[in-house]
Structure 1
Amino acid sequence: MATRTVKRAYKFRFYPTEQQEQELLRTWGCVRVVYNKALQMRHTAWNQNRQRVTYAQTDRAMTGWKKDPELRFLSEVSSVPLQQCLRHLQAAFVNFFERRAHYPRFKSRKRSKLSLTYSTRGFRFDADGQLRLAKMGSPLDVHYSREFDSGSASTVTVTQDRAGRWFVSVLCESEVESLPTVNRSVGIDLGVKDAVVLSDGRRLNPTDSYDVRRKQRKVEQCQKRVAKKAMGSNNRAKARTKLARATAALADARRDWLHKTTTALVEEFDTLCIEDLNVAGMTSSARGTMENPGRNVSAKAGLNRGITEHSFGEFRSMLEYKTEWYGGTVVAVDRFYPSSKTCSSCGSIKTGLRLHQRAWTCTDCGSRHDRDINAAVNINAAGLAVYASGDGVRPARKPAAMQASAAGSRQ
């Protein structure tokens, strides 16, 4: 079988000493200062003079900031994560100008996620595999759960989640072996009631796992305890910390289910057909404004919560990079293709199908369809057509004469 070299990130948990934690927090504070000052510099230059500031200009400006007596503390930490945050800011502006992301926002001590990126100049692995970061006297106590090639590591990213856990992610090269060809395809319909519905009739849900159900109940219990505590009290702060830990454990369980499900699908099928969903548009708020308030806000909020819990975007990204690694193919069907309304037996389209209707009968051929399974079957057929011809799958409207004759034949 063919093998290929891919970039792969290995994430491990580590337990810093009190001194190491203080050093990491100081570095994070310096990163926030540099990032915010560079963002303000770019913002001011554009609003006042309509000039764009480059990464090189912000890098030179950072050298001057270090000489400022009030910002001398920037020289006390490693310069590698400071330069990396400027590169991240440059990438954020590139994504903004290419309409892939919103305008960059300032980093906040309370809201922003702690993240420090070290390039090859900022870390090294000892002979015994211990990880050492720049300007840190002792190695990190990393609990390695998998083997990886530390010699090919290009970046190391240190993060801390809201539950207070510390993680290190090592990006390095890895050899992966292509899977054998099985000549099988599947259509995948993503939904709220059932997370994943396959064209062969299977329904996959994270709540099928006992671990996910147990941790979901734990989160609900912690939420009730937080709601009963007085605002601003120490007991409320303790309850919020427990809630953060329970939420992090639930997120880990759901992510583990996503990895296991996508890996199993990639191993079982060569071609995976999915819908090109606009997740950002699907989860947009329906609250509206004071002048024009939205309707059915509570129902839309529940729908948004179901979409985000099932992680449609992350599910697709996992499928895409895993099929790229192991030799499969992911085919995205046009998001406007009416997969749920199209009869998989005769191809006619049912008009007026509401979201709460989970099953319907075709008026042309009399076939009874489950809404989700029928959509998965249609996605599979449309995806294979796209893969074979590269043509679109949005159906053409029938001529008025054909629609009239069809309506007359049903009467």
Structure 2
Amino acid sequence: MDDQAHAARAMWNQLHDLWTMTPKCQRSLARMDVVLRQARKEIDWYAVLPAQAAQAVLKTYFQAWKNCWEGRAEEPTFKTRIRSVMSVDIPQGRDLHIKRVHRRWGMVNVPKVGRVRFRWTKDLPVGKTGNSDNRITGARLIKDSLGWHIAFRVTTLEPKTVPNTRPEIGIDAGVNLPLALSDGNHQDHGRAPRFPDGTADRDKWLNPDEKAKLLRLEQRAAHRKSFRNPKEKTSKRLHHTYDQIRALRARATRRSIDWQHQTTTTIAKQYGTVVVEALQITNMVKSAKGTLEKPGKNVAQKSGLNRSIAQEAWGRTVTMLTYKTARYGGTLHKVPAPNTSRRCSACGFITPGSREGQATFVCKNPDCGWSGNADWNAARNVLHLYRMGHALIPAAGRAVARRTRGVKPITAR
């Protein structure tokens, strides 16, 4: 499987080189297909990759350019050996021959590999349950630090979506409170984002024993690395230690994604309209180091905040909410993010000094004086912006914001 994944990656890179060197008037899927077929005859190690998987690489590369032309993604780039995700496509479901062995395990046929056992974690339409409306059309093999995994592509006939008439909800994404809802039904994963001294805990998804093991492995890796010369090849022992560290990191990432899936599914089922902020996360996690002429301030604190924001993966949460709300008949809207955490949700005024720390909001307006959780206050402002008609209008693949001046206050509760 490793050989097939490396062959697929090398094929992608050679297609990318050929595409960039070919004049624009001669670029086409048919021409690339002819070159690919000829390359499989001339290059011996291409034979490791099945013909259908090679065609899948070509179609995926061409689709990547279509996504770029239509404004949905950036241009395809060169895939490095270390940082790229190792994967192989099996585009035809008839080659799989899936068989369930017992409750927990199943068998699948991987082309040019043979019969492989996999963990049965979800029902699949095999045997008597498979038909023309409910069948497996292919699979994708992906490798991470925990090993190889297989994801099946299934075509199902689903009933027509019924519009979700449940109430509206505003969501504010934060660090101390991951998802604050405007009705007070906040979603928390129960893991403290920071240590008592204020530093960011980047291993919050690991239990105490796993954190202790990770610390030992990092110390061991640093010790072994100290004996290596700058241009010397990394030893096998150090590589093994790095693999153990990556496995723990992958386990934490898997737990985080699982929590996001469960939480977003619950929100999509309970609410018909979901409103979130249009956050520019890339700008939010920029370093505060500054330049030599103008050095930044509180660089270490900003670095810890950036790590906490990256761990929460707000963009992935919004992506999940987008397709899950549509699946359950709801809609997702975005509103401008500026001043949602600084504006009082009761009187609508922005008064300096109202935000006391990260968790508390106390309105300094003499005529108001409302106080409450800062994230809940921001979530109420998010929902109020949508109700006042300040939602962003998608245009040409991008969001165009309306002005948010003159926002009326929310009726105090």
TM-score, with structure 2 as normaliser:
0.77
1:359-374 matched pairs, under 5 angstroms: 359-363=361-365, 364-374=367-377
Percentage identity across paired residues of the two chains: 25
The one-letter amino acid of 1:56's match is A
Which of 387, 405, 409 lines up with 1:396 in the alignment?
405
Q: Relative to 1, partners in 2 of residues 1:392 and 1:92: Cα closer, same or farther, differing over 3 Å? A: closer
Say yes or no: does 1:349 pair with 2:350: yes
Q: Which runs of structure 2 are paired with 1:181-220 in the superposition (5 Å)?
A: 183-208=166-191, 213-215=205-207, 218-219=210-211
The one-letter amino acid of 2:376's match is I
**Where in structure 2 are the equivalents of 1:141-290 lying within 5 Å?**
141-150=117-126, 151=130, 152-163=135-146, 165-174=147-156, 183-208=166-191, 213-215=205-207, 218-219=210-211, 221-228=213-220, 229-231=223-225, 232-287=234-289
- Alpha-carbon contact 1:131-1:139 (below 8 Å) kept: yes
- How far, CA to CA, are the matches of 1:218 and 1:346 in structure 2? 47
Corresponding position of 2:341: 340
**As a proportion of its length, which structure holds more helix?**
1
Q: Could you say if the C-alpha distance between residues 237 and 212 of structure 1 is closer, same or farther in structure 2, counting changes exceeding 3 Å? A: same
| 33-42 or 279-288, larger mean C-alpha shift | 279-288
Per-residue deviation, 1:91 = 2.6
1:286-305 aligned within 5 A: 286-287=288-289, 295-305=297-307
Matches of 1:85 and 1:277 in 2, distance apart? 33
Q: Which residue of 1 aligns with 2:378?
A: 375
CA RMSD of aligned residues (A): 3.3
Deviation at 1:131, TM superposition (A): 2.4
Equivalent runs, 1:121-132 vs 2, <5 Å? 123-126=95-98, 130-132=107-109
Paired residues of 1:187 and 1:379 also in contact (CA < 8 A)? yes
Q: What secondary structure, in the 3-state scheme, does the structure 2 residue paired with 1:42 have?
A: helix
Against the structure 1 CA distance between its residues 395 and 389, is the aligned structure 2 distance closer, same or farther, given a 3 Å change threshold?
A: closer
User: After superposition, what is the alpha-carbon deviation per residue over 1:157-212, rounded to whole angstroms, capped at 9, x for unaligned?
Assistant: 0011023x111111112455668956322211001121111112344332349x96
Query: Do 1:93 and 1:104's aligned partners in 2 also have CA atoms closer than 8 Å?
Result: yes
Distance 1:286 1:220, change over 3 A: farther
3-state DSSP class of the match of 1:104? Answer: coil
Matched position secondary structure for 1:298: helix
**Is the contact between residue 361 and residue 377 of structure 2 (CA under 8 Å) also seen in structure 1?**
no
Q: Normalising by structure 1, what TM-score? A: 0.77
Q: Cα–Cα, structure 1 residues 215 and 386, in superposed 2: closer, same or farther, change >3 Å? A: farther
Residues 195 and 291 of structure 1: CA distance in aligned 2, closer, same or farther (over 3 Å): same
User: Which structure has more RCO (C-alpha within 8 Å, separation ≥ 6)?
Assistant: 1
Structure 1 residue 63, shift from structure 2 partner: 1.5
Q: What is the rounded CA distance, in whole Å, between the counterparts of 1:392 and 1:66 in structure 2? A: 50
- Cα distance in 1 between the residues matched to 2:162 and 2:219: 50
User: Which of 323, 329, 332 pairs up with 1:330?
Assistant: 332
Whether contact under 8 Å (2:355, 2:362) holds in the other structure is no
Contact 1:222 1:239 in 2 (8 A): no
Map Cα deviations across residues 73-129 of structure 1 (whole Å, 9 max, x no partner): 213430122221222222333334445444432222222111111212773335667
Corresponding residue for 1:81? 53
Cα distance in 2 for residues equivalent to 1:225 and 1:388:
48
1:117 maps to which of 66, 73, 89: 89
* SS of the residue 2:115 aligns to: coil
Distance 1:267 1:299, change over 3 A: same
For the structure 1 residues 52 and 227, does the alpha-carbon distance in structure 2 shift closer, same or farther, using more than 3 Å as the test? Answer: farther
Question: Matched residue of 1:345: which SS?
Answer: coil
How many pairs are equivalent? 366
Unaligned runs of 5+ in 2: 101-105, 193-202, 226-233, 394-399, 408-413
Letter in 2 for 1:333: V
Q: Aligned in 2, Cα 1:290/1:105: closer, same or farther, shift over 3 Å? A: farther
Whether the 8 Å CA contact 2:333–2:391 is kept in 1: the answer is: no
CA distance in 1, matches of 2:248, 2:98: 35
Shift in Å, 1:349 = 2.6
Is 2:97–2:109's contact at 8 Å kept on the other side of the alignment? yes
Instruction: Letter of the 1:192 partner, please give it.
Output: V
Distance 1:290 1:102 in 2: 32
